[in-house]
Structures are given as structure tokens and as C-alpha cells.
Structure 1
Amino acid sequence: MRRTGVYPNQFTFSAILPACANTFIVVHGEQIHCLVRKHGFDTDIFVGSALVDMYAKCSDMISAERVFDEMPDRNLVSWNSMIVGFLQNKLYDRAVRVFMQVVGDKSISPDQVSFSSVLSACANMGSSYFGRQVHGLVVKHGLITLAYVKNSLMDMYCKCGFFEDAVKIFRTIGDRDVVAWNVMVTGCVQNDNFEEACNYFWAMRSEGISPDEASFSTALHASASLAQLNQGTLIHDQIIKTGFVMNTCVASSLITMYAKCGNLVDAYRVFEEIEDRNVVCWTAMIAACQQHGCADQVIELFEDMLREGIKPDYITFVCVLSACSHTGRVEEGFAYLNSMTKLHDMSPGAEHYACMVDLLGRAGRLDEAKRFVEAMPIKPDSSVWGALLGACRNHGNLEMGRDVAQKLFEIEPDNSGNYVLLSNMYTRCGRLEEANEVRRLMGVNKVRKEPGCSWIDFKNTTFVFTAHDRSHSRTDEIYEMLAKLEELVKKKGYVAETQFAINSVEEYKERSLWYHSEKLALAFGLLTLPVGAPIRIKKNLRTCGDCHTVMKFASEIFEREIIVRDINRFHRFADGLCSCRDYW
């Protein structure tokens, strides 16, 4: 049009500026902005609003504000462009301030875009106090019946931790669409109510609402968090029926679900069926292998991904460095860390540095690990110091461990794990008085250790065990199976690792080890699950070394695959060996 000599007008610019915004390349918009000024349309209210929107979408809020401030006249679209722009650029407090200006201007009445945007800002800020005030304004302006606004209100209450308030609003919606259901499913997940998230998903299906990719991804996330393989496979059935099986977002969630439910084979099968894999798909599969202790496969997948021209992201490198850490690949780990800045233009974060500290610590190079922490370009956080404390525990370096623990007590005074680690280190060195002092410090600071428990699924029922548990109807049979297991493993050469016993009385240490929750779950699995079926056990804490040894023996004696998912990773026991290679 320009080449033919036809001059653009305000309608031309209002049409072309959104196209510039959708390229996300600010130079395109700046060139059009120059033409706007040249042709004298910079005072047009519609062109000005389109310019604000374009700069905001191109993440240039300074230019957006400048255009907005220079506008001689503003309408609601102009104000909404600023609110939405600040929201999209995660400047939530600025979005709230602009909304307050709109409310204070008697000549303008906020609409559903204004309210929905500011409610999203409140949700991301966790500001329930201002969110409730906005709720009042919604009612005052008569917009409470609009689905768009109701969904934003539910999202705000969910993200601010007031789930029951979201439920009350949800129940007032007559004709619920998929977005309303998705908000509730996501809200359940955000509030760690994973079982309820699955219930909402199935209730949506029963009402005839077709799920979208967000529905499936969130429901799969909930199933993965519960480690409910049966639930996950049922959702997989729905994905196949509704044609979302080739959606990369859903496929990535499927990989994660199968991996977190202990089924790496099906996770890999889903990965192989994806035709157009993006970085999320690759990272999901790499993370799955890393969680299951398949470090060689992690490195192999990572190199395959690079050969296919896929640029790794932040999480990809965390998985790769963690794999190096768990297999003692010190040189390779440093090579990958250096490649982040040199080849991929990415700055390492705290998680990457924590992996490197863990890598050096597991290799026994504690002094080098400490020097690495002190030389880091960013301030070490709890993940970095925690990796070093774990290394001190593994290698019995009490002096360094004590200093590191003191730093962790300052950074995260409510984390019971740090106190327990230091206390156990004192106990293993025979310094019981100092160990008891650490326990007393926990009491003074009102820090409580999370009680350990393990659970196992049988016939759609989850059975939970705690240490020394005698609450189950088949308790006598379970303890008989434990006695049988103890006899069999001792014949194979098992020696109790009493350093993992909490009891300070020596003669009771070995006996107390046999009543750990994961051993009780194992005995129950051996009693109830069909011969040859894998035994899948979940634990909320890190599994202890003695239980790890017993699981290896049991897998060989009973010729069973035993999969233990603890707080850190998966351990797959088969033929007397563990997938972690005893290096976890």
C-alpha cells in the first residue's frame, strides 16, 4: 500500500499495530510509530491505545507509559491496555495502581477486562485483602454474573489460599464452561488437594464438558503428585478418545505422570510416539530418567536433543547436572555447566550450583565443594548449603557439617531436616550430648520433624504405614512376613546398618530398623500382590540405607521388581541391584 502511494489513516494504523504486537518484535512497532507521528495520528485515541498495547506486548512498558502519558484523551480501552500490559509483564503492583486510578475517575466505569485483569494481578501477588475489595466493586458495578469475571474471582481466591470462597462462587455458576472447571481443578492442585482435583476433573466429564489441554495437563499433574497410576491411565484413556494424544503439552504431562508413578517404560513409550518434540517433551523425558537413576540415559537423551537442534532450558540443565552428580561424572558436569554460558547464553542458577556442590560432595571432594560455594557469582541459598550438608553427612565431616548447618539454621530456621541431619551426625560420632542439644534447639524453635510414612496401593485402596505400625487388620501376618524376610536376608549376608537407627540403646537398634515404614509396606506387598507383579512403595522422606539394602536382597530372594519412590528419587530394585547403583 505504501509503495503505491496510498497514505495510511487512523484505521490503517489501528489495524497494523496489533500485527506488530503479535510478532513480539518491538522494532516493527517502532517503525510504525514513526509513521504514526509523521502522518499526524499520534493524538488519535484509538491509535494511541493500539500503540500502548503494542509496546506492552513487546515487553517495553517504559515506551507504553510514555505513549499513554502523552495521549491528550484516554478512554477505557487505553486504561485497560495499561492494566493488561503491567499484568502481562508481571508488574502486578503497577497494574493495581492503574486500576485504582480508573476507579477514581468518575468519567470512566471499569468493565470485565479491567476487573479480570486486576483480579489476576491480585492472584499473582497473593493479595486477598485487595482482591476482596475488588470483589465488592464487581458486585457494585453489576458484573458478578459475567463468567469471565467469576472465573477470575475463583482464580484469585484459589491462588490466595481461600479455596472455599472459590467453591462458593463456582456453585453459583449455572452454565459452567471448561474454563470454570479448569480454574477449580488448578485451584485444587495449587492448594495441594490432588485427590479433589481428580474429582473435579471427572465431575466435569460427567457433565458432558469436553476437557482441553489445560484440563488434561492439570489432572495428570494431580495424578502424578498422588502417584496414582490407575488414575493416570484412566485419564490417558480419555486423552486418546478426545484426540489430544498428539498435543505436546499433554504428552509431556503424560511422560511426567508415568515417570512419577514409577512406570518409566510407558513414559518412554509416550515420548517415542510424539512426532514434533519440543524442549518441554525432551526435558520431561530427561527428568523422568534422572528421577529413576538412569543417568547414562539422561546424558544420551540430552545429546540426542542437541543433535536435533533443540535448545535446552533451565530445567534441562538441572536434570543433566543432577545425573552427573549421581554417577560421579565430575569433569562432564563442569563441562556442561560451562556450556550453559559459552554455548547456550544462559546464566546458571542456584539449582545448577547446588548440583555442582552435590557432585563434588558425593565424590568426597568436600574442601573443593566449599571453595566452589564461596566463589559462586550468586549468593548461595538453602539448596546449595543443603547439598554441602548432605555431603558432610555422607563422608562424616562433622566440623564442616556443623558450620554449614548453622548457616542453614539462619536461612531456613523452620526446616526440620537440617536439625535432624546434624543431630544424626553427632550421634554417629558418639557425641550424644551435642545430638540431644540439637534436638532441644528444635523444641525451642518450635520445629517439628515430619513423621515418616510409607504407602502402597492394593485393589484401589491406599494402605499407609508408619514406623512400628500395628494398626492394620493383617498386622500379625505382616510381622510374620517381616520375620521370614529377616531370616532370608541374613542367610544372604545381610548385616544391620545400625547407624540408621534412631534408638540410642544399642541392643534395640537392630530391632527398631526392622519396623521402618517402608519395610512394613514391603511385607504387606509381598503378602497381597500377585506373584511376579511389581511392588510400588511411596515414602514421604528419604529412604534409609538399611531399608535400601533390605530391598535389594528382597528383590533377588522373591524375584520381584520393587520400586520405591522417596522424597528425592525412584529406586528400582531388581535381581539384587538398585537403579541408583548405591550412589544416591
Structure 2
Amino acid sequence: MESKTTSYLANLLQSCIHKKAHLAGKLLHAFILRNGLASDTFLANRLIELYSKCSKIDSAYRVFDKIAQKDVYSWNALLGAQCKLGNIQDAYALFVKMPDRNTVSWNTLISALVRSGLEHKALDAYDSMILEGFVPTHFTLASVFSAYSALLDSERGRVCHGLVIKIGLENNMFVSNALLCMYAKCGLIRDASQVFGDMHEPNEVTFTAMMGGLVQTDRAVEALEMFRLMCRKGIRIDSVSLSSTLGACARGVCGEFDQDDPTDVLSSNVHGRQVHGLMIKLGFERDLHSNNSLLDMYAKNGDMDSAEKIFTNLPEVSVVSWNVMIAGYGQKFQIQKAVEYLQRMQCCGFQPDEVTYINTLAACIKSGDIETGRLMFNSMSCPNVSSWTAILSGYAQSGYHNEAIELFREMQFRSVQSDRTTLAIILSSCATMGLLESGKQVHAVSQKASLHTDVYVTSGLICMYSKCGKTEMAKHIFFNTPELDIVCWNSMIVGFSLNSLDMEAFTFFKQMRQKGIFPTQFSYATVLSCCAKLSSSFHGRQVHAQITKGGYVSDVFVGSALIDMYCKCGDVDGARWFFDMMPCKNTVTWNEMIHGYAQNGRGYEAVCLYKDMVSSGEKPDGITFTAVLTACSHSGLVDLGIEIFNSMQLEHGVEQVLDHYTCIIDSLGRAGRFHEAEVLIDKVPYKDDPVLWEVLLSSCRVHANVSLAKRAAEELLRLDPQNSAPYVLLANIYSSSGRWDDVRAVRELMSDKQIIKKPGYSWIDCKNDMQTPMVDDDVRMVSVEVQEVGDGTFC
């Protein structure tokens, strides 16, 4: 009779557990106490489960403490109660005290640790479980694979996969789905596909996990194909499946599809609208999770009108909904709308979270509104490292490098741990401003955070020290970095180039190739620039051969650098041949070729090429006009140069700046048309720039125009008293006219003001090695050195 009563009461308690009926459960508990059944372990375990389900942990403990003969189920019931309430520390302490454990005990603890984000502890517990001889169940393995997914630990995940096969659980749907999720989240799509293909009856969880993995690895088109397959097979579609598919449509614009191609964007939007229609058909139009995914899809596709309509008609909104709208308008550079949504959000009683402020901050930075961005940043009670990085990036991108550095100091005072991106941004600002001491401080911060060997930070450090002229320190960092990538090599090569160590740059480039590092377009462009500065066609042709072999010969960026190299090495015909062979050209390419003709005194061809450029539809810019006007100046095409100069603003909308005026004044001066040059220089808005007067003074020397030379020299001395050029040029003009007293007066003035003429340098290519003798006032010194080498030494 007692057994039937116990069974009956147990069933009633089970019903209360299922319904979370706390009050009815208490009445049953009272009945059990009144009838002397409190010592029944089976009923006591059910009571612990009841109080656990109703979140009454104290009552559960009281029942547990009064059990005379506790079995493993009693301990498991209390352990489950602690785990469900998220009391992980108490649960772990209870687990340690358990006199006996079974598989359920281990499963309960491991799954709770995984849910709490304590994956490492969960895997330690799993290892202990195996060591104690317990065989994992499908529940155990599902939790373990979730831990491996979170940690992206595919190596240990593969080992566990082997155990699954060994104990015969490879066909268990629960385990297979968890395994597939693990491979997908680790980006191992081939392995995930293998698991998917081996499953006899994949369900909605399987397809959703597979789609998630494909989207994560930017394979949006394949993810959409997977969804179509899911529909064809008649698999039940839930809100999670729809959200993943909408995520694929949204990711397509940012990933596989080309944002600049209207066809691709339209295609992605069409897929999204189809899924939207299916969502309504299946009755998910009131599901908040699906609606937020729908909003995100339209926002990322740039279709904010559709997003507005969806948002307005949402039956329920969340902070996520508001955040998506703010991010969408930020992406469209509509900062006012983003801020308006933030204000509306607050008026509707929603409290902005960290994501809200970061989205608004990102919108401000994308729109270039750094002031509003700073207001958003200041609104954050405790900004995280992502927020700091965003505002620092905004200041750096807007050219406010000093403000960025000051804000970084404040970040340090607040003890916010920097990440690799933060350090790279600040190092870039220090490099731009040439702030060596500030850069050293950032270097110290990177060492403290153990990020100084990170390749991202290393390249920033190399760039900073190089731009501050500390190439030896840059080399020290480079050689002490354990793993160097192409960015580090490029930074080092650029550093040498910036400091006029072009042969060292070329040597580093060769070492990079020897170590099996494949150059990028940037590598080739930089080393070609070094060859151009060295005027070494021998080295330039070597690089050209490597470019052809590497498949970059059609790259417009590299092609422009090749043209510049050939032109500066004097092989303008070789440059033109390559120019004509290029499949596509941009403004820079045309400019380099025109400038090459100008440098080599072939003005007529430069003008013809300029006209070809205009005829081709390529829009000339300020640099184009500087090149073609220089060509006209050097080749005596004065009237043609004036004609092109006058057409700049009228026909091409390009404003004339100092360089253009300098070219025309140089052209008039070379032709001896000094009256026109004087008239123009008096109208120039840049008449206080020394370059104009230097050009005019040089022309006066050629034509022995002493009066105008004196005026130009006086203007130069007024603008730049310490510049030796006007003294030397004026002295040369006086000497050529036989005015030796004036020459003596100029030299005495230089001596009184302690102005010294800087020596020049000349390059000689000696058996493919560069010699750089100094050129003094006494040119005979150099000629003597050359004679001492012997005939045939220089080539």
C-alpha cells in the first residue's frame, strides 16, 4: 500500500515539476511530512527537483539535508538545481563533495560550464571523466564539441571525432550536429561537408549549422543553395533557419558579392526579398528574432527605405532592432538619421547599450563627423577597447593625430588594455607626426601588453621608427620578430626607401624573395621606386622580370611604377612600349608617362600624349598639368604651354596652383620673355613663395638679366635669408658679366651671415654598383678621382 502511495505522490510531484506549480508542490510536501514519508529518498529527490525547477534553492537544500540515505540521484538533483540557476562555483564545490558520481553527474557539470562560457574548465572536467573510466554519452559529446567550437580548437575536436567513431555514436543526430557545428565554426567547411554528407537524415539544425559555416567563410552563394536544398527536401524551416538565410543575403553584399557592382547588390536584395516572402508565408512575421535578421539584411543591402517600413510595422522591438537601424544609417553615411534613431530609442524608454554607442560612433566616423563621434564616446559610462579603437581611428583618419595621441594617453590612465589595432593606429599617428618619443612610449605599452612581437604591431613599429629616421631600431625590431609576414617586409623596405637607403631596400627585397615570401603589388612598387631613385636600369629590369613571372605585369599600380622607373633611368622608349602594352590605365599611369617625356626633354611627345589622354576620356588632374607644363617649359613650347595653362580651369575644372604658375614662369624665363614673366608673377596669389623667385633668378642667369636678377634675389633673401641659392646664383650672374666687385660683395655678405653652400652629390653606375661622389665647388676634384680609377672602370 505504501509503495502505491509513494508512486502516486511521485507522479503528482512530477506533474508539479512539469508545470512549475510551486504552491501545489508545497502542499504535497506538507502531506509527505504529515504522513511520515520524509525519509523516502525517492520522494525527497523529486522534491529537490521541484524546488530546483521553481528556483527555490534554499528549500531544495533543506530537503537534501534531511535525507538520511542520500544516493547519487539526490546529489545529482541538487547539482542540477545549482547548475540551472547558474551558480557554477557552488555547483563545482558540490560536485567535488559527491561521494559517488555517474555519467549524469559529469554531463550536468560539463554542460553547465560550457553554458557559462567556461570552456577550458569544461574540457578539464571531460578529461577527468575519461580518466576515471566513464564512457561519454551523446549529451557529453555535444557539450564537448560546443566547447571546442567556442575555443576554435579543431585539433582536439578531431581527436574527439575519432572517439565518437570508436564508441559508435557517429550516426547519433545530436552528436553529428554538434560535430558539424564545431567544424563549421572553425572554418573547416570541407570537414563539415563530409559530416553533412554522412548523415542519413539531416534536420533543420544540421542545415542551419551548415549555412552558418558557409556564411562565416564568405560563401554566401553556397549558403543560399543549401537553404534551397533544405526547402526541396521538405525539412522544417524555423526562425533560426530563416535568420541564417537572411544573414547569408546580408553577408553577400559584404563578402562574396561586389558592393560596387549594382548587379550583385540587386541580386543579393532579390534573394533577401524572396526569403522575406517565405517568412510571411510560414507565419514568422511576428517573430522578433526573424524580424531583426530581416532588418539587418535590408540595412546591409543599403535598402533603408525597406528597413524603415519593416521597423515601423514591427509588433515588437528590442535594443537589437534599434541598433540595426543606427548601424544601417551609419553605413549609408547618414549621421543625422543615426543620431535621430538614438534619440527616438531613448524617448521610447530603451536604454542604449555598448553596441548602440559603438554603432553611432562608427556612423559618425564614417561620415567624418568626429565632433559628434566624440560626444557619443563621452556618453559611454565605461567604453571598452572597441570603442576606444573606433574613436582613435576616427581622429587618425581625419588627420587629428595629436588629439589621437592625447586620447590614447587618457586610455592608458584609465587602465584600458590596448589591443593590436589600437596600438597600430597610434603608431601610425606617431609616424605621421614624426613623434619619436611618443612612439617609444607606445612601444613600451606594446611590450607591457606582450604585443610587441605581433606582426600587426611590429609593422607599425618599423614604420614609426623608419619615419623618425631610426632605421637601425627598425631593423632591430624586424630581426627580433619571431614570425614575419609580407607587411613587415614591406614596412622595412619602405623604411629604407624613406631614408634614401635604396640599395639596402633592394637587398632586403632580394632576401625576402630568397626566404620564399611572395611580394605584393606594394612590394614591387616600392622597390621599383628605389631603382628609379638609383637610376639603375639594371636592377629595375631584374625586378621587371620578377613582376612578369609573378603575374603582376597587368596590375595598374605596378605598371605605373615600372613606367616611372624606366623614365627616370632614361629609357623613355622602353617606358612607352610598356605603357602601350598595358591593358588598363588610370590617371597615375598617364601622368607617369607624360612626366617621363618631360624629364627626358621630349616635350612635343608629352603634349601629344596629354591630348591622347583627354581624347581617351581619362580626366587630367593637377599632377597631369604639372607634368605637361614642365614638358613645355623644358622643350621651349612656350605658347603651347600657355594655351594648356589657360584651359585648365575653363575646360577641365582644375584650379591652378603654385606648381602650375612656376612652370609657366620658368617657361617664359627660359625663352627670355621676362616682361610677361614679371606681369604674371605680380598676379600670382603665391608671390611670397621662394620657388617662384628661384625659377626666375635661374632664368636671369641664363640670359644675363642683371636688373631682374637683383630683384628676384632681394625677394628670396627677404623670404628665406638663410638659403644659399640666391647668393650663389646672383654671384654667378655678376661674374658672367664681369662685375667682380659685386661678386666679392655677395661672397662677403654670405660670410658675414655665415651662409654655407651645401655640396651636391652625383651618382655613377659602376659595374652595376652605385658610387656617390660628393660634388664640391671645385669640380676638378671629382674628375681627378675618376681619372685615378683608370680607363674602363666606369660603365
With normalisation by structure 1, the TM-score equals 0.75
Aligned equivalent of 1:182: 490
Aligned equivalent of 2:564: 256
Alignment partner of 1:110 is 2:424: no
Q: CA deviation at 1:310?
A: 1.6
Map 1:279-290 to 2 at 5 A.
Answer: 279-290=587-598
- Counterpart Cα distance in 2 of 1:46 and 1:408: 58
Map 1:442-521 to 2 at 5 A.
Answer: 442-451=750-759, 454-462=762-770, 467-468=779-780, 469-472=783-786
Q: Report the residue type matching 1:51 in the other structure.
A: T
Q: Where in structure 1 are there 5+ consecutive unaligned residues?
A: 478-523, 530-584
Q: CA deviation at 1:197?
A: 0.8
Alignment partner of 1:5 is 2:330: no
Change (3 A) 1:382 1:459: same
Alignment partner of 1:95 is 2:404: yes
For residue 55 of structure 1, the aligned residue among 340, 352, 364 is 364
- Counterpart Cα distance in 2 of 1:273 and 1:453: 36
Q: Report the residue type matching 1:471 in the other structure.
A: E
- Counterpart Cα distance in 2 of 1:373 and 1:342: 21
* 8 Å contact from structure 2 (residues 330, 338) kept in 1: no
Aligned equivalent of 2:333: 26
Larger deviation: 438-447 or 79-88? Answer: 438-447
* 8 Å contact from structure 1 (residues 122, 130) kept in 2: yes
For residue 269 of structure 1, the aligned residue among 577, 581, 595 is 577
Q: CA deviation at 1:333?
A: 2.8
- Counterpart Cα distance in 2 of 1:42 and 1:265: 68
Change (3 A) 1:352 1:417: same
Q: CA deviation at 1:344?
A: 3.5
- Please give the root-mean-square deviation of Cα atoms over the aligned residues, in Å: 2.7
Aligned equivalent of 2:153: none
Q: Report the residue type matching 1:459 in the other structure.
A: K
Q: CA deviation at 1:365?
A: 2.4
Q: CA deviation at 1:122?
A: 0.9
Q: Report the residue type matching 2:503 in the other structure.
A: E
For residue 156 of structure 1, the aligned residue among 454, 464, 489 is 464
Q: CA deviation at 1:245?
A: 0.8
- Counterpart Cα distance in 2 of 1:19 and 1:281: 37
Larger deviation: 413-422 or 382-391? Answer: 413-422
Aligned equivalent of 2:681: 373
Change (3 A) 1:43 1:442: farther
Q: Report the residue type matching 2:784 in the other structure.
A: R
- Structure with higher Rg: it is 2
* 8 Å contact from structure 2 (residues 670, 699) kept in 1: yes
Q: CA deviation at 1:174?
A: 1.9
Q: CA deviation at 1:417?
A: 3.0
Q: CA deviation at 1:323?
A: 1.9
For residue 353 of structure 2, the aligned residue among 35, 39, 44 is 44
- Counterpart Cα distance in 2 of 1:19 and 1:158: 40
Aligned equivalent of 1:212: 520
* 8 Å contact from structure 1 (residues 256, 284) kept in 2: yes
Q: Report the residue type matching 1:5 in the other structure.
A: I
Change (3 A) 1:380 1:313: farther
Map 1:572-583 to 2 at 5 A.
Answer: none
Q: CA deviation at 1:460?
A: 2.4
Q: CA deviation at 1:282?
A: 0.7
Q: CA deviation at 1:205?
A: 0.8
SS in 2 for 1:238: helix
Map 1:556-567 to 2 at 5 A.
Answer: none
SS in 2 for 1:457: strand
- Counterpart Cα distance in 1 of 2:636 and 2:611: 18
For residue 142 of structure 1, the aligned residue among 433, 440, 450 is 450
Aligned equivalent of 2:606: 298
Q: Identity over the aligned pairs, expressed in percent?
A: 32
- Counterpart Cα distance in 2 of 1:109 and 1:475: 61
Q: CA deviation at 1:449?
A: 3.2
Q: CA deviation at 1:37?
A: 4.0
For residue 668 of structure 2, the aligned residue among 360, 363, 368 is 360
- Counterpart Cα distance in 2 of 1:455 and 1:144: 39
- Counterpart Cα distance in 1 of 2:592 and 2:329: 33
SS in 2 for 1:471: helix
* 8 Å contact from structure 1 (residues 357, 373) kept in 2: yes
* 8 Å contact from structure 1 (residues 159, 190) kept in 2: yes
Q: CA deviation at 1:20?
A: 6.4
- Counterpart Cα distance in 2 of 1:263 and 1:391: 28
- Counterpart Cα distance in 2 of 1:19 and 1:248: 34
Q: CA deviation at 1:191?
A: 0.6
- Counterpart Cα distance in 2 of 1:21 and 1:166: 38
Larger deviation: 461-470 or 96-105? Answer: 461-470
* 8 Å contact from structure 1 (residues 43, 72) kept in 2: no
Change (3 A) 1:242 1:10: farther
Change (3 A) 1:414 1:201: farther
- Counterpart Cα distance in 2 of 1:12 and 1:343: 50
- Counterpart Cα distance in 2 of 1:62 and 1:307: 44
Deviations 1:531-570 (CA, angstroms, capped at 9, x unpaired): xxxxxxxxxxxxxxxxxxxxxxxxxxxxxxxxxxxxxxxx
Alignment partner of 1:346 is 2:660: no
Q: Where in structure 2 are there 5+ consecutive unaligned residues?
A: 1-297, 299-305
Map 1:76-91 to 2 at 5 A.
Answer: 76-91=385-400
- Counterpart Cα distance in 1 of 2:699 and 2:351: 63
For residue 475 of structure 2, the aligned residue among 156, 167, 174 is 167
Q: Report the residue type matching 2:702 in the other structure.
A: N
- Counterpart Cα distance in 2 of 1:258 and 1:21: 45
Aligned equivalent of 2:156: none
* 8 Å contact from structure 1 (residues 57, 88) kept in 2: no
Q: CA deviation at 1:339?
A: 3.3
